[in-house]
Amino acid sequence: MENFQYYTPTKVVFGKGTENETGQLAAEQGCRKVLVHYGSGSVVKSGLLDRIYKSLDEAGIPYVSLGGVVPNPRLSLVYEGIRLCQRENVDFILAVGGGSVIDSAKAIGYGVADHGDVWDFYEKKRAAEGCLPIGVVLTIAAAGSEMSDSSVITNENGWLKRGYSSNYSRPRFAVMNPELTVTLPKYQTASGCVDIMMHTMERYFNHCTNMEMTDGISEHLLRTVMKNAEILMTRPDDYDARAEIMWAGSLSHNGLTGCGTDGGDWASHQLEHELGGMFDVAHGAGLAAVWGSWARYVVDAAPARFAKFAVNVMGVTPGSTDMETARRGIEAMESFYRKLDMPVCLRDMDIEVSEEQMRELAEKCSHFGKRTIGCIKKLDKEDMYQIYRNARG
Residue 5 C-beta: closest distance to its own copies, Å: 6
Residue 157 C-beta: closest distance to its own copies, Å: 36
- Which DSSP string corresponds to 60-121? T--EEEE----SS-BHHHHHHHHHHHHHHT--EEEEEESHHHHHHHHHHHHHHT-SS-THHH
Q: Which is nearer to its own copies, 198 or 346 (CB)?
A: 198
Q: Which is nearer to its own copies, 8 or 155 (CB)?
A: 8
Residue 19 C-beta: closest distance to its own copies, Å: 12
Q: Which residues bind its own copies (CB under 8 A)?
A: 1-18, 178, 210-213, 216-217, 220-221, 223-224, 227-228, 239-240, 243-244, 247-248, 251, 259-260
**Cα–Cα distance for residue pair 125/128, rounded to 1 Å:** 10
In terms of C-beta density within 10 A (0-12 exposed, 13-18 middle, 19 or more buried), how is residue 390 classed? middle
Q: Which is nearer to its own copies, 243 or 285 (CB)?
A: 243
Residue 69 C-beta: closest distance to its own copies, Å: 26
Q: Which is nearer to its own copies, 13 or 70 (CB)?
A: 13
Neighbours of 96 (CB within 10 A): 29
Q: Which is nearer to its own copies, 163 or 260 (CB)?
A: 260
Assess contact for 58 and 51: CB atoms under 8 A.
Answer: no
Residue 240 C-beta: closest distance to its own copies, Å: 5
Q: Which is nearer to its own copies, 202 or 244 (CB)?
A: 244
Residue 231 C-beta: closest distance to its own copies, Å: 11
* DSSP bridge partners of 174: 12, 136
Neighbours of 207 (CB within 10 A): 13
**Cα–Cα distance for residue pair 272/343, rounded to 1 Å:** 13
